[in-house]
Amino acid sequence: ARAGVGAGEAALTPAVYSLLAELFRPGRLALAISIFVLAGNIGTGISFILGGSIVQLVNAGPTLSLPGLGEFHGWQIALILTGLPGLIIGGLAFTLPEPRRRVAPVKADPARSYAALFRFVGAHKTFYFCHNVGFALVMGAIVGAASWTPAFFIRTYAWKTGQIGLWLGIAMIASALIGMGIHGTVVDAMFRKGKKDAHLRWLVLMCILGALAAGVAYTAAAPVWTIAFFGLFNMFVMGFSSIGPAALQIVTPKELRGKASSIYFITLMAIGTAGGPSAVAALTDFVFHDESFVGIATAIMVAAFLLTAATLFMIGLKPMREAVPATLSTHEA
């Protein structure tokens, strides 16, 4: 089931970013993608709010049995109920217009396209390495923190799942509503003023602030401060989900964007989704040998991932400045 969800996301996201790059000029692209990503962030927050309550509710009730489908346990019912709205909302995709292409379409040739992509990436390998791995590490910090923060509240404060979901969901939604617009607006303004490395430069600062906020969140003396600084951590670093793709679309030639995005997301999944949660588990089990240290383990993981990402972004500043002019000449910022 999770593989099916991932397959759908893998097809959706690269296509959307390529379409947005056609609809918006580079100097407006970060904000446009931020608005697109904002919807997903709000959805994640809502799933925390409703999911925790639904799990608590269905676990307290009887097992559901449906003819021909068998029995459904509480966690299965929770996944079905939170996923159903997507079937309805997804239909809105059919109302989207096909954007007018700014340049003549390129004849489809997968073999040539991937060969061209690898040649272009090879010519700008430092940028692509720093970009893809750096943003994957930021994602790892976010996913790792989101995965283990509920366990931190259970083990440290003995909170129930419904209570955890409510407050973490509120923190996620608030941080997304406040932060995503700021990230997109600031980066676009910097780029229009001639800062061709604006996307990576902004993330250097956000990674440092995010690491500091996470350190406070998981060492705070009261849950209210953990919630507050968890929200700040998310607000600082959540911009990666729009700024990273925007930088990739700007640097990569039009005909290669979809394939470049697919490789970018493979890197995110391989390093980010797997690395963050696994690092916290490894620190808790094999370094501290105590499950009550999950908060400290999470703070260490976040700091290590984000500061490494910030270092990669700093290394990638000059390569991005050198890579941007090759494609920016076809459409002004």
**Residues whose CB is less than 8 angstroms from the CB of residue 145 and which lie 6 or more positions away in sequence, other chains included:** 214, 230, 233, 276, 298, 301, 302
Asked if the structure places residue 73 within a domain, the reply is: yes
* pTM for this prediction: 0.81
Per-residue pLDDT of the chain (333 residues), as tens digits, is: 666 666 666 667 777 777 787 778 888 888 888 888 887 778 777 777 776 666 666 666 666 676 777 777 766 776 777 677 777 777 777 777 666 655 555 555 654 578 889 999 999 999 999 999 999 999 999 999 999 999 999 999 999 888 888 899 899 999 989 999 999 999 999 999 999 999 999 999 999 999 999 999 999 989 999 999 999 999 999 999 899 999 999 999 888 888 898 899 899 988 888 899 999 999 999 999 999 999 999 999 999 999 999 999 999 999 999 998 655 644 455
Asked if the structure places residue 197 within a domain, the reply is: yes
Asked if the structure places residue 109 within a domain, the reply is: no
The Cα–Cα gap between 146 and 8 comes to 22
Classify residue 124 by its DSSP letter: T
CB burial readout 284-317, b (16+ within 10 A) else e: beeeeeeeebbbbbbbbbbbbbbbbbbebbbebb
Asked if the structure places residue 101 within a domain, the reply is: no
Asked if the structure places residue 134 within a domain, the reply is: yes
Asked if the structure places residue 106 within a domain, the reply is: no
Asked if the structure places residue 316 within a domain, the reply is: yes
Q: 157: domain range? A: 2-96+116-328
User: Is-contact 134 316, C-beta < 8 A?
Assistant: yes
CATH number at residue 278: 1.20.1250.20
Asked if the structure places residue 105 within a domain, the reply is: no
Chain mean position to CA 201: 18
Q: How many domains does the chain have?
A: 1
